[in-house]
Amino acid sequence: PRLPASPWDAAPTTAHRVLAALHRRGHLAHWINQNHDGLPQKAGFPQTAMNEIHGAWFDVSNPVVPMSGQLRDDLIRWLVDEEEAADLVLALGTSMCGMNADRVPDTCATRAIKARRPTAKVVKPKYKSPAALGTVIVSLQQTALDDKASLRIFAPLNEVFELLAEAMGVEAAELDGSLDFDAHAQPELGEGEVPDVYRIPQEDGTTKTLDLRDGAEVRLLLGPSAGAVGEVLGKNRGGHYRIRYKNGVKWYSGVLGKWWPVEAAAGKFVGTRTELGIENA
């Protein structure tokens, strides 16, 4: 029988795949994601270039932040650094209704406007970054920043990125859905290696073992439940790890996307701002 649809099984869109391809080509530096669905990573976008500022379904150490909640300090610092450095911002499918992340397209748009008005009164810049190209907004609804955008497109994202892929010569193979699974599979095991047990390189040159087999005890290292201890409850049907942990007197459940340990074991987090927020207890 056909299993019922689940948000955990959602597949990335054409827009997600094109953006991932543009990152691999070196055209897209970072992604600040206000969604929680893990679709960019499923499309092959690396976790090291992804700031999930409002929380993530596939990062048990970074639960979705409620409207009255507090954003993680490390992710806020990363966002502010990107705000200062960005020379072109794509605001895609967002209403920009006053969330903290809106500062990134707003600041970049403001710098671009100032650069286009050389006769305007010279004001000491707030940021060290050079003049910017500005902000491109693509969505169907109006936003508060439309008047400041360098380019404003009212259209569905998939249609826009199909055209962009064609214009930039992105090949169909670069958008192949099989990348979702090939890129996130545990590498072929060597002698003595065990499925779901990962050797994670550390900043000091050592390695740490992460056992994610069913029943393994784990501890959260980041987020509002840092220090909480729990266990692995196997995998969901997408192959992502199910985690149950206790914070205070209450039990919670979460998921760790399968790309997290794979990228960490490949040493991709070393020297970056991305941290694996779980270890064995």
- Residue type at position 26: G
The Cα-based distances of 83 to 3, 31, 127 in angstroms read: 43, 12, 9
pTM for the complete prediction? Answer: 0.90
Q: What is the DSSP string of the chain?
A: -PPPP-GGG----HHHHHHHHHHHTTS---EE----S-HHHHTT--GGGEE-TT--TT-TTSPPPPTTS---HHHHHHHHHHHHH-SEEEEES----S-GGGHHHHHHHHHHHHHT-TTSPP---SSSS----EEEEE-SS--TTGGG-SEEE-S-HHHHHHHHHHHTT--GGGG-TTHHHHTTSPPPP-TT--TTEEEEE-TTS-EEEEE-STT-EEEE-SSTTTT-EEEEEEE-TTSPEEEEEEETTEEEEEEE-THHHHHHHTTTTTTSS----EEE-
Torsion sign (Cα): 89, 140, 39, 252:
positive
| C-alpha closest to that of 281 among 223, 230, 241, 214 | 230
Residue 20 is predicted with a pLDDT of: 94
Residue 181 is predicted with a pLDDT of: 47
Mean pLDDT by 10 residues, the chain (281 residues): 77 94 95 95 94 97 91 95 95 92 96 78 51 93 96 98 96 71 63 89 96 98 96 94 94 96 95 96 95
Residue 126 is predicted with a pLDDT of: 54
CB 251 within 8 A of CB 238: no
Residue 184 is predicted with a pLDDT of: 59
Which pLDDT tens digit goes with each residue over 116-164?
A: 876 555 445 455 555 689 999 999 999 999 999 999 999 999 999 999 9
Sheet holding 278-280, edge to edge: 250-256, 241-247, 229-235, 217-220, 278-280
Residue 176 is predicted with a pLDDT of: 74
CA angle in degrees (0–180, nearest 5) for 271-45-259 = 75
